[in-house]
Each structure stands twice: as C-alpha cells, then as structure tokens.
Structure 1
Amino acid sequence: MPLSEIDLARIDALVQALGDSALPETLGVALRRLVPNLALRQCDAGDVLEEPYRSAGACDLHLLDVSAHCIRVTGDPAEASGLLVAGRAPA
C-alpha cells in the first residue's frame, strides 16, 4: 500500500523536528510509531547510491517501493510504500 500524502507530511514533520539530533535507531523507532504499517528497513548510508528523499542528523531517508518481490529505492513518492533509514557516520 503506497504511503499517503498525510503519511509523507507526518514523516517530513518528524524529520524537521528531529533535525541535527536524528540518529538511525531513534528515527526508526519514531517512524514505526508514527506510521505503524510502514515497511521500514535500515542500512549504512555507504550502501545506498541514490540521492535521499530527506536527510536529518546522521540519517538519510530513502523512499522504497516494496510492492513487488524485490524492494527498490524510488524517487517517486507516489510509488513509495516504505522507507529506508540509512545511517551516516558522524562528521
């Protein structure tokens, strides 16, 4: 099921509220509470080549299309049915 515009707006508000204090673990927990049916994955930012949908603190957020057998990163919010939280090493 694709993420709704309301889900995306809530995710944007969360990312903005966390700002520079966002860590992959805390962002993941917050996203699970905010959007309970969300397909959520985590990895290291070095494992992802695509540009992030949003960034906050030590995290990059990528939109995922999980509608088919293979999960893929997408840049199109209309195709997004999940999120990938990619953690970056502190600078």
Structure 2
Amino acid sequence: MALSLERIDTIATLANQLFSAGNRIDDVARAVRAANPDLKTVTTAHASVMAEDPFREENGFDLHLVDGNNHCWLITDKPELATGLVIAQRDEDE
C-alpha cells in the first residue's frame, strides 16, 4: 500500500496539532495509528538516533517512511513503497 503525498500531509497535520496541544509522542503515535489502521507500522523514535534523512521535517519532529513489504522493514524516501512511518521527535534545541 502506497502513501500518497496528500495522506502524508494529513498525517503531518494531525501530528502537528497533537504536538501543539501538548501531547506526548506516544499519544501522537496512538492517534496516528487509530486514524490510519491500515498502516503496517507507526512507531516513534528520537530524531538523534535516526541514521537516515527524514522524508519530511516538521516543527519539532521528522517523518520517516517505512517500507515493510519484505521480511525486514526499511526506511525509504519513496511514498509508493511506504507501508508505515516513524515519527521522530527532535529535541527543542535541534
């Protein structure tokens, strides 16, 4: 299942709203999962541990796309291969 750019925009908007309202990253991930139950992977990380460049940078967090089509999932920059995402929270000074 591919993620369209419009859908990525919708997910980013939801995450932005939740972070702006003071929600913690785990709560943001739960809300994104609930709004997108067909995604295979919605997980969190700290941006400092992500080795790959983010697909999209937002205010305070990055979105990394996940390709889970094979046995192991990989970070991808191709929405057409994406089956999920990582929400990577940045520290305030990043």
TM-score tier, shorter chain, comes to: 0.7 to 0.9
Quick check: 1:24 aligned with 2:25? Answer: yes
Change (3 A) 1:43 1:12: closer
Tell me the percent identity. 31
Shift of 1:80: 0.6
How far, CA to CA, are the matches of 2:57 and 2:19 in structure 1? 8
- Structure 2 letter corresponding to 1:7: R
User: Which residue in 2 is equivalent to 1:11?
Assistant: 11
CA RMSD, 1 decimal:
2.4
Contact in 2 for aligned 1:22/1:56 (Cα 8 Å): no
Shift of 1:23: 4.7
The count of residues paired between Structure 1 and Structure 2 equals: 91
What are the Cα deviations for residues 15-62 of structure 1, in whole angstroms up to 9, with x where unaligned? 454575675223212211221122112222122122212233332110
Tell me which moved more, 73-82 or 6-15. 6-15
How far, CA to CA, are the matches of 1:89 and 1:45 in structure 2? 8
- Structure 2 letter corresponding to 1:73: I
**How high is the TM-score relative to the length of structure 2?**
0.73
In structure 2, the gaps of 5 or more residues are: none
**How high is the TM-score relative to the length of structure 1?**
0.75
Quick check: 1:48 aligned with 2:35? Answer: no
In structure 1, the gaps of 5 or more residues are: none
Deviant stretches of 4+, over 4 Å: 15-23
